[in-house]
A and B are shown apart, each in its own frame.
Chain A
Amino acid sequence: MSTKSAGLAKKLGYTNIRVLLAGEPGWAKAGYPTYAGREFISKGNIVLIDLRDADKDRTGRIPRSVSIPASSLKDMMSEIPLKAPVVLYSDREKEAARAWRLLRQEGFKKVSLVPGGIEGWVNSGGTLEQGPVVTEIRWQRKPGKGEVSLARFEKAVAGQLRNVAILDVRTREEAAEGKFAKAIHIPLDELSSRLGELPKDKEIFVHCTTGARADMAAQELKKHGYKASFLVAEVECEGTECDIEE
């Protein structure tokens, strides 16, 4: 994409063009912070964190933010949903950058900063809110494209949905430990040659242990004319007892 754009700029007559081939992922991987856009900060499905001390937070904060002072971020880490996009701000750039790196090191994949921190927010016309400090994180993952919601999947498991089949694409070894009683088990690597075992007239909910293989399987099924969606959740089975966790 960037090379295409660079080509266009060249056609427009620009003489001094370079491309960061590593892209945004390469930049972040090098440990350099990235920044969130205004719309994302005000409307995105994010966890917005105020890293300043609680008394500063009380007198004026970016709407929707929760207070986690930088000094206690390490201890509070487990409270932040790992899949949530996290946006951080402070009144000190260095402190925000440190927190950004810490979260990335801990496995958070979507972390960004408010450009210019609280000051940058105000200077660009952002509003502030006051009031008691909010510390409780309320973040709900929204199912992405092609996903089945956990609620619907659980209904299917309980046999409360008609015209639905559950497909388990884990390995034979994994399925031997346990599986959903109602599930059809076909390991992902055998799926292409065993499509005939699946009903074309039903909606198929695919699961694995995280969602990665289920996603691949659902794509494959859709290509062959099946109605399929996949579950993004941690699934662990023992016998016919399965634990599902978002």
Chain B
Amino acid sequence: MKKSLRRLAPLCIMVSLLTYGCVQPKSGQDTASQAPATVAKVGDKVLKGKVVGRSNKARTISIKVGKGAKSKTVMVKFDDRTKGLDFAVKGHAAIINCEKRVKDLYALSIKPKLAKLPAGVSEIKPAELKAMLDDRKDVVLIDSRPAKRYQASHLPGAISIPVDKAKEMASLLPPDKDRQLIFYCGGPT
């Protein structure tokens, strides 16, 4: 909020200058009719992280923000005006723009937090990957999730290289640098 106020301050000064300052309105003109520039509503807080819970009965979302030991869960309420509620899915990363009302945070809008692909790396959809595997195409499929998740349920023929074992990646990947590598994890995070 402070930030946006600072950003808005010059605008307000300008508007007031225009209205009351050096530029004298022509006599007889009603100054009140000159509406100040309206600015799209900016929330008080933007929360980014993984949705760890959502209750439609309590109209509340829990989102885990921050990294590692510093992470904490924040409860945000939603109402009929909240946009993009479908993006608040347990286990998926989201960006929630909220507004403080009295004591509670309310979600104004929810957007999915999309993963950024490194340059030169393209996305593959499940159907295309399925066809490649069925055709026995030469691919190395890598599961980046924790080993426990890999053990419980992984894609056919995938090998497990959890993110925390990334240092060993060089020794676990095939020596041929032109081999087709396909990475996956627990969804868009």
A interface residues (Cβ-Cβ under 8 A, vs B): 1-10, 12-30, 32-37, 39-40, 44, 85, 110-112, 115, 169-171, 174, 187-189, 191-193, 212-213, 215-216, 219-220, 223
Contact = CB atoms under 8 A, between A and B. Distances in A.
Contacts of B77: 189
17 contacts: A1-B163, A4-B144, A5-B185, A9-B169, A9-B183, A10-B120, A16-B180, A16-B181, A17-B120, A17-B183, A18-B124, A21-B188, A30-B130, A33-B156, A171-B57, A171-B58, A215-B53
A11 to B, nearest CB: 9
A216 B75 CA distance: 8
Contact of B55 (A3, A21, A112, A212): A212
Given A5-B161, A193-B104, A187 B156 contact: no
A3 B117 contact: yes
B25 interface: no
B186 A1 contact: yes
A32 B126 contact: yes
A216 B150 contact: no
Interface in B173-189: 173, 177-189
A30 B127 contact: yes
A220 B73 contact: yes
Contacts of B153: 24, 28, 34-36, 110-112
A6 B169 contact: no
A20 B120 contact: no
B123 A19 contact: yes
Contacts of A192: 75, 103-104
B156 A26 contact: no
B183 A39 contact: no
B173 to A, nearest CB: 7
Nearest to A109: B153
Interface residues of B, number: 61
B126 A44 contact: no
B180 A1 contact: no
B166 A15 contact: no
Contact of A27 (B126, B161, B166, B179): B126
Query: What are the 9 tightest A-B residue pairs by CB atom distance, in nearest-first order?
Result: A37-B151, A188-B58, A23-B187, A20-B184, A1-B185, A2-B185, A40-B151, A216-B53, A2-B183
A8 B55 contact: no
Contact of B177 (A13, A24, A35): A13
Given A20-B126, A219-B62, 16 more contacts: A1-B185, A2-B142, A2-B183, A2-B184, A5-B144, A6-B181, A10-B118, A14-B178, A16-B178, A21-B187, A26-B187, A28-B153, A35-B154, A40-B151, A189-B58, A189-B60
B52 interface: yes
B163 A44 contact: no
Contacts of A28: 153
A12 B173 contact: yes
A25 B145 CA distance: 12
B151 A6 contact: no
A23 B185 contact: yes
A4 to B, nearest CB: 6
Interface string B132-163: 00000000001111000111111110001101
Nearest to B64: A219
